[in-house]
Structure 1
Amino acid sequence: MPRALRLACRRLLPTLALVLVAFPARADEAAIRARLDAWTRAFNARDKAAACELFSRNLISEYRGQGEAGYEDRCALIGKALDDPARRFRYSTDIKEIIVAGDLAVVRLTWRLTVTPGDVTSVEPGMDIFRKEDDGVWRIVRYIAYEE
């Protein structure tokens, strides 16, 4: 191999390595965004099963004032809200940051919940920790949130 080609390869190798490492992280970030978007659509459509699918069976969550809750308790709370015929709950999200590290990811975000009638709005900053589970799907294993 000519010397000039060897030098060019040495210069390009670190860049290529960064691209190869960054590509999976970008794909995982996109998959996590898609999971959060799907959850928002499912919740807003009152689809309890699809809304609970975002959470790992190993979930530990904490929402200020509610204490810790696992998967079953959190899904029961979601079901109770979605089954309420007198009120409508609608979420939107603002994702601030996603950090992916292997099979774990941290998402810093703010949820906005509007409850009708009355159009009462709650702003809920929080942090979700996702894990890519054995089936290859990203699910929330831990989260903490609070109402401003």
Structure 2
Amino acid sequence: MLRRAVLVLALLLAPALAHAEDRSAGDRAAEAAIRARLAAWTEAFNRGDAAATCELFADDLKSDVRGAPAGDKAAVCARIARALAKSGGKLAYVCQIHEILVSGDLAMVRLTWVLTERPGGNALSRDEGMDIFRRDADGIWRIARFMAFAVESESTPGGK
């Protein structure tokens, strides 16, 4: 009797477990795609390519950054372009991804951005952030919302 109950339970759970495995494979693919998008953004910024940096953002982007007004895609892209133009190729970002959670066509990424100055690599700022990615109709993951705030540490100006 117990054997039969276990067999019935196994048969009932099999479709759900198979679906969970499919979903986790999809989540892994989404995570890899998002990591690649963030790496491409970092490379574009570090080579001074303002136009390529803006490809990461959705057209309906909304952003909140401490010390700056709420921004849309145009404002964020303009801010990046100004920073790159002023820096003369001296600015570079390092991206540290802490966590990616995927749910269907949405994903949340918790990360740290460290802005450095070349050639010495001195840390200028460290921002903690949370990005909400959305897989758009073309299948490409883009940031639709993000929040970032500067934090002080031993490796940034004003840190302990």
Counterpart residue number, 2:81 = 79
**2:90 matches 1:91:** no
Q: Write the distance in 2 (CA, Å) between the matches of 1:111 and 1:131.
A: 20
> If the length of structure 1 is used for normalisation, what is the TM-score?
0.87
Counterpart residue number, 2:125 = 122
C-alpha RMSD of the superposition: 2.0
- 1:45-95, Cα deviation, whole Å (9 max, x unpaired): 111111000001100111110120100010001101111255621001110
**2:133 matches 1:140:** no
Counterpart residue number, 1:26 = 28
> If the length of structure 2 is used for normalisation, what is the TM-score?
0.81
SS of the residue aligned with 2:71?
A: strand
- Cα distance change on mapping 1:86 and 1:17 into 2, 3 Å: closer
1:100 corresponds to which letter in structure 2? Answer: V
More strand by share: 1
User: Identity over the aligned pairs, expressed in percent?
Assistant: 46
Q: How many equivalent residue pairs?
A: 143
Unaligned segments of structure 1, at least 5 residues: 1-6
Q: Write the distance in 1 (CA, Å) between the matches of 2:47 and 2:41.
A: 10
The equivalent position to 2:42 in structure 1, one of 27, 37, 40, is 40
SS of the residue aligned with 2:40?
A: helix
Shift of 1:109: 0.5
SS of the residue aligned with 2:139?
A: coil
SS of the residue aligned with 1:68?
A: coil
2:65 corresponds to which letter in structure 1? Answer: Y
